Structure 1
Amino acid sequence: MATHNLPANDRKISIIITSYNYEKFIRTSIDSVLTQDYPHVELIVVDDCSSDSSREIISSYDDQLTSCFQEVNQGHGAAFNRGFAASTGDLVMFLDADDFLLPNALSTAIEAFEMDTSLCQYRMALVDEQGHRFDVFPKLEVKFDTQQRAENKLLHSGYYQTTVTSGLIYSRQYLTQVLPMPSEDFRQGGDGYLVSLAPLYGPVTSSEIELSGYRQHGANHSSFTNQLVKRAQWRIEHNQMRHKAIIKTAVKQQRAIDDNFYFNDVGLLSEFMCIKLFSESTPLFSQTTHTDLPEQKSTPSRTTIARQALRNLWQENISVANKLILAVWWLSIATLPKKAAQPIYSWKVLASSRPALISRLSKVLRRA
């Protein structure tokens, strides 16, 4: 049944929880779906060959959900593929097992999902390991890119301002065109593949509704900010895979993309700068770069990276005050000696490392 033919409150949604060794959180995630007040919900849980008690916990809900147990560990992308193949909903949401839906958020989130769009983006409550809220993600001063802006920005820089897995709802019509995804390329970050292609298949919209709790803890991939080089290298390699998928689709659809568009991505340039500051010996690009990606240039200098970032910073969907403080940040990490630039770089990516004065300034800017 086509999504656009159904009233908003009649659309069926498939919630696909993907889990690997999350026995500590999986019950909370499942219960958060089962207790929603929206009546048309299908719950699917994909376990990626967990070695803890996750499977036993999932099996205890067998009469309330569809379980899919992978025989070997295949990663995030393969779990998305398996869950979607088992689903029947007009709308689809992938929910990480360490995250959870906020109470009764689903009904208002679905009502905000506009007809004939490929993807709707939502805010999430940022919570600690115990589930206590301490912030919102993305931060309120960061505005989602939507509609034509999202498409234009994607073709210019290979990304647009969006969010992560548990803050996204997709139309089935869109997903049938791009799934299954190449699972080996996306063993981590399957959401990166899906959001990267969404503007090329239909409008992307957004809502200020808080849909889910996005848990920050020591075991998830998003929290290893104390391992800056490892995180930066993973993100660079992940972006290579995203770019490969974007280029393939753009060629198929005869769309023009900017030459070397990965150098127009301010976030990716930040990862390049991390490598330059903290690990001179680590290459900016993987040695296994795919031949169908644009030719990679030699390693640029800190000054070159910062100059390119400043050139693109003014296109970001943030306030002028935030653009100015980011411009100062880029200039500082590009021109100061490495020992002085390293802590300044960390202030942006790890809030807990900021001096009190910088933290207060950051809060003021969020209100600007």
Structure 2
Amino acid sequence: MTTPRFAIVIVNYNYAAFVGTAIDSALAQTLPGVEVIVVDDCSTDNSRAVIEGYADRVTPVFRPANGGMSAAVNTGFARTSAPLVMFLDADDFLYPDAVRQIVDAWHDGVAQVQARLHLVDIAGKVEDVFPPYEVALDQGDVSASLRDRGRYSTTVTSGLAFSRQALEQVMPIPERAFDRSADGYLAAVVPLYGDVACIDQPIGGYRRHDNNHSSFGADIAKRARWRVEHDDHRYAALTEHFRRRGAALSSTPGMRDATHLEQRLASLVFDPAHHPYPGDRRGAIGMAGARASFAGAMSLKRRSIHAGMFLVAGFMPGFVARPALAWKLERSSRPRAIDWLAGRLRRLMG
């Protein structure tokens, strides 16, 4: 059997309404030699029937029990021998030249290629770009950023592709710690085994709707605690893989990471009784977040606005801090006038 040049592993759970679009987009790639594997994580909707309709053109894998996103990714990776692999969420889709662009961006020493995606609504209509163009995607050797703050500028699962050589160093994904977020693990540890290459234009659509992680419930404090806990799992994985490479992670990487500090501050502001770090103080987190914002890979205007949000949420009274954070973290919570103003500010940022 001929080894495929590239594998697209589609991971599905109860996305019968979207998985056909994802499969069609994978099959429509202009680069020949693309293998398509569809892993269904024991869906309870009509997903199996949809996937079986493509059985002559894809490799369908039906897990016997639901194990979470990372279990499905591990299952899919075990079914391919392709040298380059990407994991496409079943509610997202790729543009026809996506794989060709990824292959063109690859060169010796690259472990991961990352690309922007169009942020689309439930019908597939383009609403924005993710990450926004004001945020520069990191490339090259990002290990120093991972060592110092546990993060670099990256994207989500459907905008990432990996070399098999690097994946073999880090797979399987720890399924219990990363059951909802395979990319949180892969994007953190894979770049310790090679460089990151970037595609600055969107290669597909990242769908925003009520059932995916980008809308992880309306409870801001609950979501923030989950993300803080998720970061703790990432730090543990980074610690292990840095150890394997003969290096060490910073003792407090989160205190230099604006993304982590934003969630940590939200947990503290909205639900201090259940905040996982009892020693945290709003002012200290606000100041650390402002400093981290100015060190970020963003335009000066965007850094200034982010830093200002941290200072407001860190030092102003709760009746001011809470809406400031809510409007930043949960777009649906913004008054229409604030949402309009935020959009205007976004367009003015350079």
TM-score by length of 1: 0.90
Deviation at 1:11, TM superposition (A): 7.4
> Where does 1:1-368 land on structure 2 (aligned, <5 Å)?
12-148=5-141, 150-224=142-216, 226-284=218-276, 298-352=278-332, 353=334, 355-356=338-339, 358-366=341-349, 368=350
CA distance in 2, matches of 1:48, 1:11: 24
CA distance in 2, matches of 1:305, 1:102: 40
Deviation at 1:347, TM superposition (A): 2.0
Verify the 8 A CA contact 2:101 2:199 in the aligned structure 1. Answer: no
Deviation at 1:199, TM superposition (A): 2.1
Structure 2 unaligned regions, length at least 5: none
CA distance in 2, matches of 1:305, 1:189: 25
Larger mean Cα displacement after TM superposition, 309-318 or 167-176: 309-318
CA distance in 1, matches of 2:257, 2:265: 12
Number of aligned residue pairs: give it. Answer: 345
CA distance in 2, matches of 1:129, 1:307: 38
Verify the 8 A CA contact 2:11 2:89 in the aligned structure 1. Answer: yes
Report the RMSD for the aligned CA atoms in angstroms: 1.6
Deviation at 1:224, TM superposition (A): 3.0
Deviation at 1:282, TM superposition (A): 1.1
Cα deviations by residue, 1:104-135 (Å, 9 ceiling, x for unpaired): 33222321223320001101011000001111
Verify the 8 A CA contact 1:23 1:57 in the aligned structure 2. Answer: yes
Deviation at 1:215, TM superposition (A): 0.1
Cα deviations by residue, 1:5-36 (Å, 9 ceiling, x for unpaired): xxxxx971100000001111011110111112
Equivalent position SS for 1:210:
coil
CA distance in 1, matches of 2:225, 2:234: 14
Cα deviations by residue, 1:239-261 (Å, 9 ceiling, x for unpaired): 11111110011122221322221
Verify the 8 A CA contact 1:94 1:169 in the aligned structure 2. Answer: yes
CA distance in 2, matches of 1:190, 1:252: 21
Structure 1 unaligned regions, length at least 5: 1-9, 286-297
CA distance in 2, matches of 1:157, 1:365: 29
Specify the alignment match of 1:288 in structure 2: none
Deviation at 1:348, TM superposition (A): 1.7
TM-score by length of 2: 0.94
